[in-house]
Amino acid sequence: MKPCKFALLLALATTPLLAADLVAGAFSQGTLTGWDNKAFKGETRYRLVKDETSGKTVLMAQTEGGASGQFRKLKVDLNRTPYLNWRWKISNTYSGVNERSKSGDDYPARVYVVDERGPFGISSRALNYVWSSNQAVGSRWPNAFVPQAMLQAVDSGNAKAGQWVAHKRNVREDLKAAFNEDFDHIDAVALMTDADNAGGKASAWYGDIWFSEK
């Protein structure tokens, strides 16, 4: 994995959007409009599929020792819509990885937000909500490659593997807790299923992603 995944995503992003209640990923509508792909090492395969249990269209990710992400440049006013909503499902976590090290910086599922700063985003702040393989839910730690990117475990382990899990996070509060400063907006949303460091294999499914007032 290259040292600045989230910064490279930003460098390729599209024109920012402004909205009140804002849908970032309308996967259930069968569209990836506004989303782009960036490969880092190998490739994670992303495709829209129909979920067998709900019948809804979702975004499926499959990786086998590779890493690429889907991203969307989207300016979100956190004073108006601070809550990030999504649901996801994974096939499995990775065994024997140290997620706080460079050699174990892989996650079967992650959704992250970015506050873009500096030329090409090199000083940006990113908060990754991850399905961790072994870190406790609620724990937070810096990315082993990029210290201005923080990881936060919202799910952990295989107990819920194969099940849909829904999340609602107050991004403004989580960013403040992670970086000890106030944030009034973010500039991009991304998701990734990666296994390029430890060489694992996993699949993940992502439902719609949106921002809301509450």
Per-residue pLDDT tens listing for the chain (214 residues): 444 444 444 443 433 434 458 999 999 999 999 999 988 898 999 999 999 888 999 999 999 999 999 999 999 999 999 999 999 999 999 999 999 999 999 999 999 999 999 876 778 999 999 999 999 999 999 999 998 999 999 999 999 999 999 999 999 999 999 999 999 999 999 999 999 999 999 999 999 999 999 9
> Which fold is adopted by the domain 5-212?
Jelly Rolls (2.60.120)
Sorted by sequence, the CB contacts under 8 Å of residue 121 that are 6+ apart come out as 4, 6, 7, 8, 9, 10, 11, 114
pLDDT at 18: 41
Would you say the C-alpha torsion 147, 140, 13, 211 has a positive or negative sign? negative
Going by the DSSP 8-state scheme, the letter that residue 8 receives in this structure is H
pLDDT at 160: 98
Specify which residues 127 forms β-bridges with. Answer: 113, 150
pLDDT at 21: 84
Measured CA to CA, the distance from residue 26 to residue 105 in angstroms comes to 28
CA 209 vs. chain centroid, Å, equals 10
The three-state secondary structure class of 52 is: coil
Domains in the chain: boundaries:
5-212
